[in-house]
Structure 1
């Protein structure tokens, strides 16, 4: 059973600084063969591969993506996360850029690992800017597969000889989160996974989906609806996919302005689903026995106060003496929007939620005991059958900062002023 300890909601009430961004190349690699019980390998669902090569590759892509691809050109990294955005700063696609060995003439060769469902529109977008650039773009999804390796127990790593860039595969530490494992593109063939599966147990792609949700890593067209959200809401900055010092690129203005104002009101977080009348989960763990139908993609998540506010007449001190509305039973509130559900499997999912409300979330059975009182909220969502499901948000341990309630932000501003 996959699990992740969450930062408690009690701790989220105070501003705190957590683990800083990690350096993907700083991990030490094992030189001993890893046992298959320690590592898992899976083909990543719904990913395609674009080959990008030519002498103008760096110049073209540098002006289109959020990260500094000159690091790939220099060989500082073999793998980099980046995103494409439109001129309004709305995100079009996430890409993991793998560096193949350069061509004989020294020109770069890269593989874009991206969502297969939005690949045609991404190719069209890049070609609008290509003009006469000496760059070749080609869909090579029939030649390459995208796979993920991660530790099923402990901190196992692949054998050192599997890592790095070659003509048949590129295996690199996944830069998006500390425990994501290793991302790879492997040339297709009868034995395309033989070297990797010899060092790891091959599992279904659904296990990878569970793994990335537990790590709080969003990916692809379902989590990032095309032209509908901004990179910072999607945690592209937290996942080492934005370089704020690189200079101009398409969509850069909104991303930079949002970063420098420091105001990101919502972000994608992992969530657990549970049913009314049952206690909230105590850890972010997958439960394959959870068979309740999940909400559709982009279903609204609503926040509701745990302690309903008093009727207007009571709040005004009238005590209901007019015998009117004060005596009538209070209608259930629909609450307010807390954000959107994006993707899920079993009892787990991801949602783009308002951080101020995430910081106020509390289990209804413990809210009064823990002192949140009237400020506490809980989250609900509905599936297509109209069934209400409860939602618990979690904060990944690797985030550089935990969210705060609005009142805490005001108190902090007053102290700093």
Structure 2
């Protein structure tokens, strides 16, 4: 997101990324700055919060700010309205001091919410070199441009979009029983009743998660095996925020 307000100011941008790959991400950006006088550094003095909506209408409404509360950034989550707003404040501040109606919840609650909505995030859900933009529904989340100049992977992405055939997608799934005790390995195979492969499990929290599945098989009974070899049924769903043509 762009921070400067007029052309006379030095341009500044905030880029959100997975903190587990901070070093690799900064090195990747520096690789492409060439000889430009660009400074790249983490903002250790800031903290990021998600202001999640309780209802669909609430997701579109700007959160009520505390009088005198001054967030660094308060902007709609660009991925989908169901993800509410992104709030960036000084690290020493508390979200409730800025958005008084907010209830501070855990990171686990946040991840469960986005898995229920089918929103992938970070290298766990979108493993580098494995996840493809269109299969990951990034076109639905303002994550792919078909008008800008060249970028790595543009040819494959544009060709797939032009053909209009995307056989696999990331779908939100619900387990028939919580699997936290035994766990399911990332990349575990999703199978049909007859034992045919239907896709791969990506990640989850408690009884919800996301999996890359063949679209034609999401309505048939599916199951996955836990790390202990036990069978757990899964129920995929189509998110209500997807474009109607893709439901």
Measured in 1, the distance between the counterparts of 2:54 and 2:111 equals 14
Count of equivalent residues: 241
Q: Deviations for 1:280-314, whole angstroms, at most 9, x for unmatched residues? A: xxxxxxxxx77653312221111234xxxxxxxxx
Going from structure 1 to structure 2, the CA distance change for 1:382 and 1:344 (only over 3 Å counts) comes to same
2:163 corresponds to 1:261? yes
TM-score (norm 2): 0.88
Alignment of 1:16-415 (within 5 A): 98-102=1-5, 105-140=8-43, 142-153=44-55, 155-156=57-58, 157-159=61-63, 161=65, 168-189=71-92, 191-275=93-177, 292-305=181-194, 335-358=195-218, 361=219, 377-400=220-243, 401-402=245-246
Question: Which 5+ residue runs of structure 2 have no aligned equivalent?
Answer: none
Going from structure 1 to structure 2, the CA distance change for 1:389 and 1:134 (only over 3 Å counts) comes to same
**Structure number with larger C-alpha Rg:** 1
Report deviation, 1:381: 0.7
Measured in 2, the distance between the counterparts of 1:173 and 1:262 equals 29
Question: Which 5+ residue runs of structure 1 have no aligned equivalent?
Answer: 1-97, 276-288, 306-334, 362-376, 404-417
Measured in 1, the distance between the counterparts of 2:6 and 2:233 equals 53
Going from structure 1 to structure 2, the CA distance change for 1:101 and 1:187 (only over 3 Å counts) comes to farther
TM-score (norm 1): 0.54
Partner in structure 2 of residue 25 of structure 1? none
3-state DSSP of counterpart to 1:267: strand
Partner in structure 2 of residue 42 of structure 1? none
Measured in 2, the distance between the counterparts of 1:225 and 1:99 equals 27
- Which structure would you say has the larger RCO, counting Cα contacts within 8 Å and 6 or more residues apart? 1
Q: Deviations for 1:11-56, whole angstroms, at most 9, x for unmatched residues? A: xxxxxxxxxxxxxxxxxxxxxxxxxxxxxxxxxxxxxxxxxxxxxx
Q: Deviations for 1:294-337, whole angstroms, at most 9, x for unmatched residues? A: 312221111234xxxxxxxxxxxxxxxxxxxxxxxxxxxxx222
**Is the CA contact 2:95–2:102 (under 8 Å) kept in the aligned structure 1?**
no
Measured in 1, the distance between the counterparts of 2:230 and 2:179 equals 14
**Is the CA contact 2:179–2:226 (under 8 Å) kept in the aligned structure 1?**
no
3-state DSSP of counterpart to 2:81: coil
Measured in 1, the distance between the counterparts of 2:56 and 2:151 equals 40
Measured in 2, the distance between the counterparts of 1:290 and 1:253 equals 39
Measured in 2, the distance between the counterparts of 1:160 and 1:107 equals 30
Report deviation, 1:346: 1.3
3-state DSSP of counterpart to 2:138: coil
Measured in 1, the distance between the counterparts of 2:229 and 2:53 equals 38
3-state DSSP of counterpart to 1:260: helix
Going from structure 1 to structure 2, the CA distance change for 1:103 and 1:154 (only over 3 Å counts) comes to closer
Going from structure 1 to structure 2, the CA distance change for 1:154 and 1:240 (only over 3 Å counts) comes to closer
**Is the CA contact 2:56–2:81 (under 8 Å) kept in the aligned structure 1?**
no
